[in-house]
Amino acid sequence: MNDIETIRHSLAHILAAAIKELYGEVKLGVGPAIENGFYYDFDFGDSQIVLDDLPKIEKKMKEIIKRNISFEKIDLPKDEAKKVFGSENYKLELIEELNDGEITAYKTGEFVDLCKGPHINNTSEINVDGFTINRMSGAYWKGSEKNKMLTRIYGVAFANKEELEKYLEMMKEAEKRDHRKLGRELDLFHTEEEVGIGLVLWHPKGGILWRVIEDFWYKKHLENGYDLVRTPHIGNRKLWERSGHWGFYSDSMYPPLEVGQSLEELKNKDEVKDSEQFLLKPMNCPFHVAIYNSSPRSYRGLPMRWAETGTVYRFEKKGELSGLTRVRGFTQDDAHIICRKDQVEDELKSVIDFILFIYQSFGFDPSSVNVYLSLRDPNNKEKYAGNDEGWDFTESVLRKVATEKNLNFKEEEGEAAFYGPKLDFKIKDVLGREWQCSTLQFDFNLPERFDMKFTNDKGEKEQPYMLHRALFGSFERFIGLLIEHYAGAFPFWLSPTQIRVIPVGENQIEYAKEVAEKIKSFRLDIDMDSQTIGKKIREAEMQKIPYILVVGEKEKANGTVSVRKRGQQELGEMTIEKLIEQEKLA
RNA sequence: GCCGAUGUAGUUCAGUGGUAGAACAUUCCCUUGGUAAGGGAAAGGUCGAGGGUUCGAUUCUCUCCAUCGGCUCCA
């Protein structure tokens, strides 16, 4: 029995073989198995391929599979390999990087591919109904935008037709909980071109959702020893020059506001005199550093934990924008912790605890959150700020606390920020894409550039350690993922509308108002439409409101309500007091 | 930014080389109802934007814009 991974990888070879048979002059890139399927990169040269070509390719693959040809492994010395792949420039590039002795290829009929395996023995082991070729896109050779863009063809593959169909069905279901779709259906937010792409407009229901989350956030930060700070949306160019953003981050920043003339003068194209430039902040850090540097600091005052829900603006490339998960204006739930070396470990631990607490509070199972320890690229040390000693210490202390906190993390070399190592927490969206949310980062850059100091217990000036951290990452992204996580059916405490009162007929409207008055501490409304009860129930269910209170003549006479809980049948008739007690509403 | 796809009413979608239709939503009227759609009427669209071809373009074509899926990048 073959591993599905192996089948997927073998299918990638068959895809390449099919392309070779269909298009001849194509150059091969690479073709690995991936989650749920496989892909292969091709350079089609001058000829083009479009989406409509995919069925033809799939058909050719099935034809090849039915030939029952075997996968033969071939060991090749380097020179031999270069001969075999004579005109395949991408393959030759890969061969150059391999050591002699490691080079193997697999032969499937006439098709030979550079590959270390493993593979299935024969194409007959593949179920022709278990896969489909469904997508294509561009992809840079070796993942670098400096290289040529190849055409990547994707397939999804499973052991058999049933599993494939189950997967496709699952993806269709997943699309129903897409936050962009639910955002519209539940009237939470929208974006539009006239306002600006990547800039989110939060509707009343989205606004209250945000507010509830934000209130929770403030409360928990105050409980956890943070102080709150508040900083502006724009800052003088000089600040961003000093922080290094002007130099290193300029392609992600909105261009400067010219503040030497009025808008009127600008429109008249008047000459600018004595101009100052201000930039929209892409990060809050330099402002927090400025607060720190505004007065001399003592070791006794550390750690300082300064939190701010700071709205930042980044000029993301158009093709990178996506719903709430990737936008141009977003609010980070930011905090900076400035501390002594001997405090670093405890601070890290408490941030990790805080992060885990947040996930628990919003119903995310820790196993659904992937953790990454992002380290320096050891072969490319010169591109990082700070010194070896600092990096060695911070990388090892991050690893230590992550281990002690039993985080199931993956180490990734070369993924650190230029200014320091970090621990990243990523959540998958409905389409399986990972989005970085919580992050815990060291910064060697700003303390140095802004010459941050404190006086230690020996009376000497010392540079503090600076940690950046965000729990949600950004409100936008986190709420987007939260919408998908709950499929829009938020728990009671988060629901924009918690309770809807539905009078059966117009004779109960007054009573419905009395009921509403009794529970006005909750977020509720009354559906007074002159519609059938069925219609109004349907509407409330589609809006995913947790509790529906139906009041008719009977309830009015008894001083009760008929309760319907979201997604369930009736809970029955009861008094308001009973409902609150039974359902533990607060 | 790059590769591919898509763009018709608020939403989901039909449709056509002779200037557009449905359902739901909206407004009004009738209905006052008992747990997922009661009935009727009205209103709503420079068919993404701008060029080109044509007697005539929403339809064909080009450019641009936006959205979606990837790539790169990222909270």
| ipTM of the prediction | 0.95
Candidates A310, A308, A250; CA nearest to A279 is A250
The gap between A48 CA and B47 C1' (Å) is 30
Which of A's residues 37-66 have CB atoms within 7 A of nucleic strand B? 48, 50-52
Q: Which amino acid is at A414?
A: G
Let me know: does A14 contact A123? Beta carbons within 8 Å.
yes
CA A391, A394, A400, A406 dihedral sign is negative
pLDDT (0 to 100) of residue A101: 78
Which of A's residues 138-167 have CB atoms within 7 A of nucleic strand B? 138-140, 143-145, 149, 151-152
pLDDT (0 to 100) of residue A568: 86
pLDDT (0 to 100) of residue A254: 94
pLDDT (0 to 100) of residue A381: 81
Which of A's residues 194-213 have CB atoms within 7 A of nucleic strand B? 197-198
User: Catalytic amino acids of A?
Assistant: 285, 314, 332, 334, 336, 422, 468
Which of A's residues 482-511 have CB atoms within 7 A of nucleic strand B? 504-507
**Looking at the DSSP assignment, which residues form a beta bridge with residue A38?**
A33, A155
The gap between A166 CA and B38 C1' (Å) is 39
What are the E-state strand segments in A121-202? 131-140, 149-157, 189-190, 201-202
Residue A350: DSSP 8-state:
H
* Cis, peptide link before residue A303, omega less than 30° from 0: yes
Let me know: does A421 contact A467? Beta carbons within 8 Å.
no
Q: Is the CB of A552 under 7 A from strand B?
A: yes
The gap between A152 CA and B2 C1' (Å) is 13
CA separation for the pair A554, A67 (Å, rounded): 74
CA separation for the pair A491, A583 (Å, rounded): 12
The gap between A194 CA and B8 C1' (Å) is 20
CA separation for the pair A400, A480 (Å, rounded): 32
Whose structure tokens read 């030497």? A260
The gap between A53 CA and B53 C1' (Å) is 29
Closest-lying nucleotide for A184 based on CA to C1': B11
pTM of the predicted structure, to 2 decimals: 0.95
Domains of chain A as residue ranges with CATH: 4-167 (3.30.980.10), 189-258+278-485 (3.30.930.10), 499-582 (3.40.50.800)
Count of Cβ atoms closer than 10 Å to residue A183 Cβ: 24
Q: Is the CB of A560 under 7 A from strand B?
A: no
Which of A's residues 234-253 have CB atoms within 7 A of nucleic strand B? 252
CA separation for the pair A319, A529 (Å, rounded): 43
pLDDT (0 to 100) of residue A258: 85
Which of A's residues 308-347 have CB atoms within 7 A of nucleic strand B? 314, 316-323, 325-328, 330, 332
CA separation for the pair A254, A173 (Å, rounded): 38
Q: Which nucleotides of B are covered by protein (CB under 7 A)?
A: 1-5, 11-12, 25, 30-38, 65-75
Which of A's residues 349-408 have CB atoms within 7 A of nucleic strand B? none
Whose structure tokens read 């039993």? A406
The gap between A479 CA and B75 C1' (Å) is 12
Burial level of A389, CB count in 10 A (0-12/13-18/19+)? Answer: exposed
Smallest CA–C1' distance to B4, residue:
A137
Let me know: does A371 contact A428? Beta carbons within 8 Å.
no
Let me know: does A461 contact A455? Beta carbons within 8 Å.
yes
Q: Is the CB of A546 under 7 A from strand B?
A: no
Q: What is the mean pLDDT of each run of 10 residues along chain A (586 residues)?
A: 89 96 92 95 87 92 95 91 91 90 90 92 94 94 94 96 94 94 96 93 97 98 98 96 91 89 79 84 97 97 97 95 97 98 97 97 93 92 86 96 96 93 96 95 94 97 97 98 97 98 95 96 95 96 97 96 92 95 93
Closest-lying nucleotide for A317 based on CA to C1': B1
Closest-lying nucleotide for A192 based on CA to C1': B66
DSSP letter string, A429-488 = -TTS-EEEEEEEEEESHHHHHTT--EE-TTS-EEPPEEEEEESSS-HHHHHHHHHHHTTT
pLDDT (0 to 100) of residue A1: 61
pLDDT (0 to 100) of residue A201: 96
H helices present in A458-564, as ranges: 475-485, 509-518, 533-542, 553-558
- Return the H-helix or E-strand segment holding A390: helix A388-404
The gap between A263 CA and B7 C1' (Å) is 35
The gap between A449 CA and B14 C1' (Å) is 62
Question: If DSSP codes are grouped into helix, strand and coil, which group holds residue A311?
Answer: strand
Q: Is the CB of A180 under 7 A from strand B?
A: yes
- Return the H-helix or E-strand segment holding A150: strand A149-157
* Cis, peptide link before residue A118, omega less than 30° from 0: yes
pLDDT (0 to 100) of residue A262: 80
CA separation for the pair A332, A472 (Å, rounded): 8
Q: Which amino acid is at A230?
A: R
The gap between A47 CA and B25 C1' (Å) is 47
